[in-house]
Structure 1
Amino acid sequence: MLLLRNLIYWFVLCVFSLLWLEVVLISMLIPKGVTWTTTAWAKVLFWMLEHVIGLKYEVIGRENIPHEPAIVCCKHQSGWETLAMLSFFPDLAFVAKRELFRIPIFGWALKWRGTIGIDRKNPKAANAQIISQGKICHQQGMWICIFPEGTRIKPGYRGYYKKGAARMAQQLHMHLVPVALNSGEFWPKDSFFKYPGKVTVVIGTPIHYDAAQTPEELIKLCEQWIENQQIIIQGVGPFAPQNPQTPTPLVQH
């Protein structure tokens, strides 16, 4: 049954993406058209994960989402949250590595909807790109989603939280909205299979951009909140860490 569900999911994903590409191309003629059509694409896949794969979810803290655009500082364990964040936050722009733009259809859509592409091999240039492109997104009234660890991290572990989100928050006067989740326990990195279960997402109260004097101090506040929540919510999926209630060790990447 698991194999059949995943085959159906991948088949529909491929066929629907090819057909929807024409809609996305036409939507480029309309202001914010690509944002709407790519969000609709993500919501269809998100619906399929829930109703075909059986990967449901619960969101704790929806009331913490502010009315004004902010920077979503999200834990990154799988591809699930890239779809989920587009369903939870309006007019969202991601910060992502530029290499993703080379992926047919998916990468093109990311670029067309205003994703902030950064060169991870050049940290100095990446910081400049985050600020300059983030300023444009902010002026357009868009939310910005950044994965502060820079890459997907295995459940039960944490990466080094980079200062880009905090630096952008302070320079653009945007609050940080921390998000913890355990999606990697059901969708392992680079896995063909997605597994049924229930992902828990916790949205924290906004951390004001002036809550700390330096970007290092600000991102530390965000990191502490996220990692404390991770210990609480992890340990329920088929790929959960063996010792879910222990502090998460750092990983190099």
Structure 2
Amino acid sequence: MYRYWLMFRSALFWFWQIAVTLLMGAPVIIGGLISFRIGYAFAIIWNRLNLYGLRWICGIKWQVDGRENIPDKPCIVMSKHQSTWETYFLPTLFYPAVYVAKKSLLWIPIFGWALYVLRFIMIDRSSGRSAIQQICEQAPVRLSQGRWIVVFPEGTRRPVGSEANYRIGGAVVANELGCDVVPIALNAGEYWPRMGFIKWPGVITVSIGPLITSEDKSPAQILAETEHWIEARVAELSGSNPALQGQ
């Protein structure tokens, strides 16, 4: 019976997401065409409405540790990616931020158009080295505009407990730009699983690690330090949702 209750709440949130998208899509797109600041302000409202929908409908709360590790000026943020949840949350923590995302997302109505007007860094992931070059060309501009660059180094959402699969692209960009990295660990996938419909109530933990400097380091060293810290912290956070044990 409890599972059916969770399914009902998750379905209600699904309708909430649609309503919020229809409500905020136009302000984000029109505002973004006027200026990034206006469009992004509406986008944050969009994100927060979804986050608070999750909180009040599905019972998903969150906590953040390591806020003192956030540097004073924007840099590259490399985050674990387990769930859709962090795509809503991270822009509210690192303000303003743009994602490095796959270009195919631009074809999604409303959502993709919003990514375009907000000038996210859109890349063709199938182009290999060329994709890294695309980031290197756009990232300095975004950083100079005071925007954080958010990268998911595994490229896509990874199931909880799956083997890590970090790609070197973000580390190459950090190396070439001489830009430091903020590592982010989280356990959102235990409450909003990848490809899962049910949203499980509980408290998501987002952990911000010590700044990883790029000075005198190769891309491989930057990536190794980032992966080591994130995966060690994720291991500490794992198993926080007893309801998922044995699922």
Q: TM-score, normalised by structure 1?
A: 0.90
Contact 2:168–2:219 (CA under 8 A) maintained in structure 1: yes
Contact 2:25–2:111 (CA under 8 A) maintained in structure 1: no
Q: What is the rounded CA distance, in whole Å, between the counterparts of 1:84 and 1:31 in structure 2?
A: 19
Q: Which residue in 2 is equivalent to 1:214?
A: 218
**1:26-79 C-alpha deviation (Å, 9 max, x unpaired):** 312134222221122111111111121101111111111111101111000010
Bigger shift: 46-55 or 187-196? 187-196
* Letter in structure 2 aligned against 1:7: A
2:30 pairs with 1:26: yes
1:98 shift after superposition: 1.1
1:155 shift after superposition: 0.8
Query: Secondary structure of the equivalent of 1:41?
Result: helix
Q: What is the rounded CA distance, in whole Å, between the counterparts of 2:126 and 2:205 in structure 1?
A: 33
1:8 shift after superposition: 2.2
* Letter in structure 2 aligned against 1:46: L
Q: What is the rounded CA distance, in whole Å, between the counterparts of 1:207 and 1:239 in structure 2?
A: 33
Bigger shift: 177-186 or 165-174? 165-174
| Greater per-residue helix proportion | 2
Across the aligned residues of Structure 1 and Structure 2, the Cα RMSD in angstroms comes to 1.7
Q: Which residue in 1 is equivalent to 2:46?
A: 41
Aligned with residue 170 of structure 1, among 154, 172, 175: 175
Query: Secondary structure of the equivalent of 2:34?
Result: coil
Q: What is the rounded CA distance, in whole Å, between the counterparts of 2:246 and 2:148 in structure 1?
A: 32
Aligned with residue 232 of structure 1, among 229, 233, 236: 236
Name the CA shift for 1:236/1:32 in 2 (closer, same or farther; >3 Å): same
Name the CA shift for 1:185/1:218 in 2 (closer, same or farther; >3 Å): same
Bigger shift: 104-113 or 74-83? 104-113
Aligned with residue 159 of structure 2, among 154, 161, 166: 154
Q: Which residue in 1 is equivalent to 2:19?
A: 15
Q: What is the rounded CA distance, in whole Å, between the counterparts of 2:201 and 2:174 in structure 1?
A: 36
The unaligned stretches of length 5 or more in structure 1 are: 243-253
2:14 pairs with 1:2: no
Contact 2:36–2:118 (CA under 8 A) maintained in structure 1: no
Query: Secondary structure of the equivalent of 1:57?
Result: strand
Name the CA shift for 1:69/1:192 in 2 (closer, same or farther; >3 Å): same
* Letter in structure 2 aligned against 1:142: R
Q: TM-score, normalised by structure 2?
A: 0.92
Query: Secondary structure of the equivalent of 1:94?
Result: strand
Contact 1:60–1:203 (CA under 8 A) maintained in structure 2: yes
The unaligned stretches of length 5 or more in structure 2 are: none
1:192 shift after superposition: 2.4
Bigger shift: 152-161 or 60-69? 152-161
Aligned with residue 58 of structure 1, among 51, 58, 63: 63
Contact 2:171–2:223 (CA under 8 A) maintained in structure 1: yes
Query: Secondary structure of the equivalent of 1:32?
Result: helix
Contact 1:184–1:239 (CA under 8 A) maintained in structure 2: no
Aligned with residue 197 of structure 1, among 202, 206, 215: 202
Query: Secondary structure of the equivalent of 1:202?
Result: strand
Q: What is the rounded CA distance, in whole Å, between the counterparts of 1:220 and 1:240 in structure 2?
A: 30
Contact 2:58–2:199 (CA under 8 A) maintained in structure 1: yes
Query: Secondary structure of the equivalent of 1:189?
Result: coil
Q: Which residue in 2 is equivalent to 1:183?
A: 188
Contact 2:83–2:188 (CA under 8 A) maintained in structure 1: yes
Q: Which residue in 2 is equivalent to 1:71?
A: 76
1:101 shift after superposition: 1.4
1:241 shift after superposition: 8.1
Contact 1:69–1:174 (CA under 8 A) maintained in structure 2: no
* Letter in structure 1 aligned against 2:18: C
1:172 shift after superposition: 2.1
Q: What is the rounded CA distance, in whole Å, between the counterparts of 1:52 and 1:74 in structure 2?
A: 26
Query: Secondary structure of the equivalent of 1:235?
Result: coil
Amino-acid identity (%)? 38
Name the CA shift for 1:241/1:123 in 2 (closer, same or farther; >3 Å): farther
